[in-house]
Structure 1
Amino acid sequence: MFVLPQTAGCAAFVQLRQLQMDNSSFLSLTVVLLGLLGPCLTRLTPRVSFPMGSPGRRLTSFINDDIKNTTLLLLTPDEETLYVGARDALLELDVSQKDAMTLKNKLDWSPSDKDLEQCSMKGKKLADCSNFIRVLEFLNSSHLYACGTFAFSPRCTYINLDEGRGRCPYDPYQRNTAVIVDGELYTGTVADYRGNRPIIARHLSEGKRLDLKLDDTLGWLEDPTFIRSIYIPHEEKIYFFFSEAGREYDFINKFIVSRVSQICVSDVGGQRTLQRRWTTFAKAQLLCQAGSELPYNVLQDISILPPAEGAPADDTLFYGIFTSQWSVFSIFLYLSTFYLLKGTGCGLHNASDNALRFVKENFLTEDSVRPVARSLTMVSAEHIYCRLSVQRVQAVNRKHYTMLFLLTEAGQLHKAVLLRGGAHIIEEIQVFQNPQAVKSLKLSIPKGVIYVGTSERLVKIPVSNCSFYWNCAQCVLSRDPFCAWDPVGRACVEIFEAQTPLNQDVDGGNVEEACSSALLTHRTRFGPSTCPAGELVSVSLNEVVRLHCPAASQLSQQQWERPNSRLSSSLYLQLKDGSLSFVATPTTLGHYLCLSTENGYRQTMAIYHVKQKSSQAPTSYTHQTPVTQPARRPSPNTSTGRQKDNTPSLSVQSIPASSTHRLHDGELLVSSRGPCYLKELVAVSILLVLCLSLLITISLYFIRQRCHCKTIPQPQPSSRDAGKVTPEEVEPTGNKTLGKSNSEVARGRNARGFVCNGITTSSDGLLPNTPI
């Protein structure tokens, strides 16, 4: 059993080199890895987070109770229509409107009752016997080609239904891939009911071209999980990305490896050797590894990034998500342009039988695909990513930045930008809550939206959210290549819509340089004789006060200041959420200033004036909740998107009165009501005193019972006994008491002797008639 070793500090690097073509290698691939080892990486925290339904992030959803599992998406070339492969249905949605998705047509394609009965008799769950569409491609300009699982009996259709084996999996949860090139369908899937015959094949060939597939007897594939197939026009090749069991590691029980393989679209098979079989198939290992550690060996998803405008076609890049077979870490793999069968080309149909036999026996390259970058860039221990899309954006400085849209298993969509210092997660958007088995992403660059298909619903999300940033500082600190500050319109806008020079700093996020000093909301300072007005907080002495400081972002840090005074740790407690807690005393009354610091820029978030209540004031007072808002009023077409539900509030143990609003230093501070616990505190104190009094009373009672002391009554002597002297009257030393009368003796006894539990004691504490 292998255990993933711990990272040996932050100095670990990947051995980097570029593969060269040799006689025994069919594949040459240039790779760059993105990932940074866990202990070397600070926590990847999204700067802004939007829960589901948050007004700060506009989402458009398509929900229909009769339509589920909308997990296969296909956009038309004009990107006005979105075709959706769902469960038992094919949908045509109009997505031309910015904030709407309208159902235009629905094609029901469900198995018959007989098909469902046969599927159930095979031991399958009835819910899995539906028709889950798994292949959806444009056959030509007028026809679609779709394949579905169809009750574990795959079917395909474009005009009429036909046989679907070898083109679509049987199991709806088994991953597959397909792409259509010039009317021919290329698939990576399984060709049998049990899923034991993996296949990469070509279908719908016409004329002299033949349908081709892998030779099942050669073991070219070992229990693969297909991820994606991508056609590269300038190379006339199709690349298949998948993970499979590595036969070359036969000393490890089912060691998973990630692969990339190629086929040429011009391949027609061999004349004698490899007839109706691929002659251009080759595969290599994608080695995502840092130093001597075990590799991140399981490929999750892959996405293509075309070259920038005017750049050579060889600058095509691929981005992928890798996870480890032994750990929960996820890592990014950044693949640069690669070439398969470089030097030999795709024309092997006229090759000799000896050459084809060599191809048949040496389809796996000796060398693995290794990175050419110097280090890993990103490792996420707290997020497990499952899908991604990638886009290149040109910023205000004319520099291109790579944007990643990453879907987590937990249902969040992360928008990240790759910078020189590593990945920066700009925002986090929750798109679904319940666990989803199959999910998909489809990015529309011309429309500026990304589609997320899940089992619950279909969601359309704009790639930019510039109107959320209410001032220049927040716009620059977001470091979003899509957004920049317009000093004329005093708004954060999309760079494609602006007609004036914009302020932006994606690389550094330097507010002081990017924003004009006249437009900045400077930090408020306490002067020697003046204090800012602030929000009034009336308190009683000895109350516990808690002042909240709203965070500008999840990357900011809050600090507190007082005029001409330091916040002693013996008097003040700053909590993890940035709030300040203390007891109201004459020393702690006065002004408090809350500051937020991010990337070296400090700004005022809240100002409070804590004041003692007057004797005539009621037992209630107002406590305030500061919420940072834009100083200007947004236009009806602009969404400020501030989240009021998640804004921290000030809590002081008193009763609130009316709410107030005040605009200070370009930021709106809003007051709200809050709970009071003064009456409850008095009631609890009274009950505590009563309980203690009762406990003391009961304790004294039992002590008195155990030791009950009282005076012993003495009877009056009769005349007959008046002259007698009792033994008790005789002094231990022999002195007599004849000089005293009986009454005096009695009085002396009562004055000097007491009975405790039936035993007489003298006033000096000694027993009577006891020698001293």
Structure 2
Amino acid sequence: MISLFGRYAVMKIDWKPPADVIEECLMKGKLKSDCQNYIRVLARQSSGKALICGTHAFSPKCREYVYSSVDGTLKNTRQFDGQGISPYDPRDNSTVVYLPETHEIYTGTVSDFVGNDPLIYRKRIGENDRDNGIRTQRDDARVLDTPNFVGSFVYKEHVYYWYRERAAEAMDNNEERQIYARVARVCRNDKGGARPANERWTSFMKARLNCSLPSATPFYFNELKAVSDPIATSANDHRVYAVFSTPDSDVRMSAVCAFSMKRIREEFDYGTFKQQRTVNSLWVPYNRNEIPRPRPGACVPDSTKLPEATVSFITRTPLMHRAIESVNGPMLIEGSDRADLTQIAVLPHVDSVNGQHYDIIYLGTSDGRVLKLIETVGNTTVIESVTVFSRTIPVVNLLTTPRQLVVVSSDEVATIDVHHCNEPDSCNRCVALQDPHCAWDLTIARCVNRNSWSGGHFIQNIVFGQSEQCPEGIVISEELSDGELLFEEMDLYLFLYI
């Protein structure tokens, strides 16, 4: 475990698979490098405990650790089977939500050695719980078809999952299934159905996510790569930002789209479902009068008492007919001549000098950079591009804190400041950043960050990046008029090499 502030190791836990488990993994044809214990779940529990789960040489295991104040270490208190919680293969994408108040863990992963059993799963893992869990239907491509899980979170009475998968409803010109981006949800109070469906979700629903350039023939970004947590935009809505890409091809492109949680909820709550009546027929919407009552997928006080017709319907046809449209289309597109976008993190509600709130978006790239951008009225502004790693390696995770951004690659971790307000040496350059974090202080003639805005007179223009209030007036230099980023490729040194 690493301190983000002191940049030192706080403590170390050694957890290696036993020799016989490694030997069995090798005997089954896996590489030695894969027959290790890759940690895939790390969650803080109540009472000072920590839940840690790993691949454990293709035999997933979980442990609970408790902090000892005597010697400042974490003590292992129990170990249990991690099937359905951690993936077997360290390369598999998975996602986890842990709720300490109920000791429940929600996962999206693969639950078998060969990787043929993807599932969305919930299990109570309290020490005295004897819960077999609830999962999606096994061996049913209508429910999950080779999913790659990207993220998940709790939102009101549901848990939402974000992933990409082969789409049963879409074929390309070679009659192969296309990959579509999906959002799915389950009810937190789902108890499963009546026997024999008591260990299956009765509330699993999914919909396509549409991130595309609108035209007579839309250009789709179908492959979901990363997703943010929901960010409040009003009293009754939140927004989720996500990274998409086109399939691997000669025209590889990336985009960022935003989605309204209110719109997603409305589609799941009131939209109709998609069906294919025969294997050779087109996919069409159900008529409203064909949908049983109570509504399939809705949260109910006791799902074990749902009618068989409702449970059977949602098991056979969990897909919504209409796609979830993005808010105003892609807010950023990176062409095939640029690195792929790989990760996203959002610092919400940063106040500008005039009190306007902005969501600041950070994007990781496949060549080890971080882009910082904001969305203004009808426009997206890229504030800066920062080279984080000395090697050209993809950013695989981003985490925000109020003052620092944690940037992770496959074998390196770094922290960078969330702003670089001290770099500009003039008012024009400071204002041209269009960064809500930064403003020109007329009193001391410096570009300062928002933590220094306690007094004085500050100049900032987020929308236009120019201000007549600057002492030098508006200066349009060749550097700025060409649209160059002021701090393109700033070199920042990583603090840890694993």
Give me the TM-score of the superposition, normalised by structure 1. Answer: 0.53
CA 152–273 in structure 1, closer or farther in 2 if over 3 Å, else same: closer
2:224 to 280, 285, 299: 299
CA 384–597 in structure 1, closer or farther in 2 if over 3 Å, else same: closer
Q: Does 1:227 align with 2:147?
A: no
CA 387–376 in structure 1, closer or farther in 2 if over 3 Å, else same: closer
- Residue 386 of structure 1 contacts residue 406 of structure 1 at CA under 8 Å; is this kept in 2? yes
- Please give the secondary structure, in 2, of the residue aligned with 1:316: strand
2:10 to 104, 114, 123: 104
- Residue 322 of structure 1 contacts residue 333 of structure 1 at CA under 8 Å; is this kept in 2? yes
| Counterpart for residue 351 of structure 1 | 306
The one-letter amino acid paired with 1:249 is: A
- Please give the secondary structure, in 2, of the residue aligned with 1:242: strand
Q: How far 1:289 moved relative to its partner?
A: 2.4
| Counterpart for residue 167 of structure 2 | 246
| Counterpart for residue 388 of structure 1 | 344
Q: Does 1:398 align with 2:355?
A: yes
| Counterpart for residue 173 of structure 1 | 91
For 1:265 and 1:130, the matched residues in 2 are separated by: 34
- Residue 305 of structure 1 contacts residue 390 of structure 1 at CA under 8 Å; is this kept in 2? no
- Residue 60 of structure 2 contacts residue 83 of structure 2 at CA under 8 Å; is this kept in 1? yes
CA 364–597 in structure 1, closer or farther in 2 if over 3 Å, else same: closer
Q: Does 1:119 align with 2:25?
A: yes
For 1:129 and 1:435, the matched residues in 2 are separated by: 27
| Counterpart for residue 124 of structure 2 | 204
Q: How far 1:432 moved relative to its partner?
A: 1.8
| Counterpart for residue 329 of structure 1 | 253
| Counterpart for residue 39 of structure 2 | 133
Q: Which has the higher strand share?
A: 2
| Counterpart for residue 378 of structure 1 | 332
- Residue 184 of structure 2 contacts residue 207 of structure 2 at CA under 8 Å; is this kept in 1? yes
**Where does 1:163-562 land on structure 2 (aligned, <5 Å)?**
163-181=81-99, 182-204=102-124, 211-219=133-141, 220-232=143-155, 235-250=156-171, 252-272=175-195, 274-290=197-213, 291=215, 292-307=217-232, 311-312=234-235, 314-325=236-247, 326=249, 327-337=251-261, 338-339=264-265, 341-342=268-269, 345-347=298-300, 348-373=303-328, 375-381=329-335, 382-392=338-348, 393-434=350-391, 436=393, 439-445=396-402, 448-500=403-455, 501-511=457-467, 513-515=468-470, 517=471, 520=472, 557=478
The one-letter amino acid paired with 1:240 is: Y
Q: How far 1:557 moved relative to its partner?
A: 1.7
For 2:88 and 2:131, the matched residues in 1 are separated by: 27
For 1:371 and 1:166, the matched residues in 2 are separated by: 31
The one-letter amino acid paired with 2:114 is: R
- Please give the secondary structure, in 1, of the residue aligned with 2:12: strand
The one-letter amino acid paired with 1:474 is: R
| Counterpart for residue 289 of structure 2 | none
Q: How far 1:156 moved relative to its partner?
A: 1.0
- Please give the secondary structure, in 2, of the residue aligned with 1:244: strand
- Residue 406 of structure 1 contacts residue 413 of structure 1 at CA under 8 Å; is this kept in 2? yes
Q: How far 1:302 moved relative to its partner?
A: 0.4
How big is each residue's C-alpha offset from its partner over 1:97-150, in whole Å with a ceiling of 9 and x where there is no partner? Answer: 4xx312121001122333333222222221222211111112224111111111
For 2:395 and 2:106, the matched residues in 1 are separated by: 22
- Residue 188 of structure 1 contacts residue 199 of structure 1 at CA under 8 Å; is this kept in 2? yes
Unpaired stretches in structure 2, ≥5 consecutive residues: 65-76, 271-294, 492-498
For 1:438 and 1:193, the matched residues in 2 are separated by: 28
The one-letter amino acid paired with 1:351 is: L
CA 211–597 in structure 1, closer or farther in 2 if over 3 Å, else same: closer
Q: How far 1:151 moved relative to its partner?
A: 1.3
Q: How far 1:442 moved relative to its partner?
A: 1.0
- Please give the secondary structure, in 2, of the residue aligned with 1:216: coil
- Please give the secondary structure, in 1, of the residue aligned with 2:10: strand
For 2:237 and 2:131, the matched residues in 1 are separated by: 31
For 2:149 and 2:327, the matched residues in 1 are separated by: 25
For 2:124 and 2:334, the matched residues in 1 are separated by: 43
**Where does 1:718-733 land on structure 2 (aligned, <5 Å)?**
none
For 2:327 and 2:59, the matched residues in 1 are separated by: 45
| Counterpart for residue 42 of structure 1 | none
CA 294–505 in structure 1, closer or farther in 2 if over 3 Å, else same: closer
Count, aligned residues:
431
Please provide the CA RMSD for this pair: 2.7
CA 261–415 in structure 1, closer or farther in 2 if over 3 Å, else same: same
- Residue 268 of structure 2 contacts residue 320 of structure 2 at CA under 8 Å; is this kept in 1? no
Q: Mean Cα displacement is larger for which, 158-167 or 404-413?
A: 158-167
CA 361–641 in structure 1, closer or farther in 2 if over 3 Å, else same: closer
Give me the TM-score of the superposition, normalised by structure 2. Answer: 0.80
The structure whose RCO (Cα within 8 Å, separation 6+) is larger is: 1
Q: Radius of gyration: which is bigger?
A: 1
For 1:643 and 1:152, the matched residues in 2 are separated by: 41
- Residue 299 of structure 1 contacts residue 322 of structure 1 at CA under 8 Å; is this kept in 2? yes
